[in-house]
Amino acid sequence: MNQESMSRHEAGAEACSPNASCTFICSRNTLDGAYPSLMLAINARRQGMDATIFYTFMGINVIRKDRARRSKFIPPGVMGAIPGMASVATWMMKRQIDKAGMPSVEELIEMAQLEGVKFVACKLTMDMMELKPDDFFEGVEIQTAEDYMKHAKNCRVNMFT
């Protein structure tokens, strides 16, 4: 690494200002829907940022009690439409995750809670799916899309994962 890129790398690794914050939107309860928002939010907290994950549509199932472990991997395209392929692909993906030494979705949720990541359920999705606040694990907040946008407009980073 040359001197200039070393300086940029070190600058990026410094903690952010106390009010720097980020949000991530999770709209799928699949492995490839749950992992990115959790990993990014955990790492944002470790960089000194406030981090919020807004769960909407099917992604809301990730934060429902005892539902995270049901997250599957659905192959894209025609492969995902073959009966039983999601189960096989999920088994293969979880094996790769384990082989790589990565935590499970449930373990990532626990890590994120310990790191101070804020979990938010979309009120409209809750209404649509007839969910109640006690359907979620402890600490999940409920916000409307408007509430989320009021927060997100002041964030340094907003990502749809």
Tell me what pLDDT residue 7 has: 43
Going by pLDDT thresholds of 50, 70 and 90, the confidence category of residue 10 is very low
Residue 17's φ and ψ, nearest 5 degrees, are -60, 155
Q: Taking all residues of the chain, what is their mean pLDDT, rounded to a whole number? A: 89
HEC string of 45-109? HHCCCEEEEEECHHHHHHHECCCHHHCECCCCHHHHHCCCHHHHHHHHHHHHHHHCCCCCHHHHH
Mean pLDDT of 83-108: 94
Does position 3 have pLDDT exceeding 70, yes or no? no
Contact status, residue 15 vs residue 43, Cβ threshold 8 Å:
no
In the chain, where the domains are located? 19-71+105-160
Going by pLDDT thresholds of 50, 70 and 90, the confidence category of residue 16 is low
As a whole number of angstroms, the distance between CA 129 and CA 65 comes to 15
Homologous superfamily in CATH for domain 19-71+105-160: DsrEFH-like (3.40.1260.10)
As a whole number of angstroms, the distance between CA 145 and CA 102 comes to 32
Residue 129, classed as helix, strand or coil, is: helix
Going by pLDDT thresholds of 50, 70 and 90, the confidence category of residue 18 is low
For the ranges 35-39, 44-48, 76-80, 151-155, the lowest mean pLDDT is seen at 76-80
Q: What percent of the chain has pLDDT over 90?
A: 78
Mean pLDDT of 81-87: 92
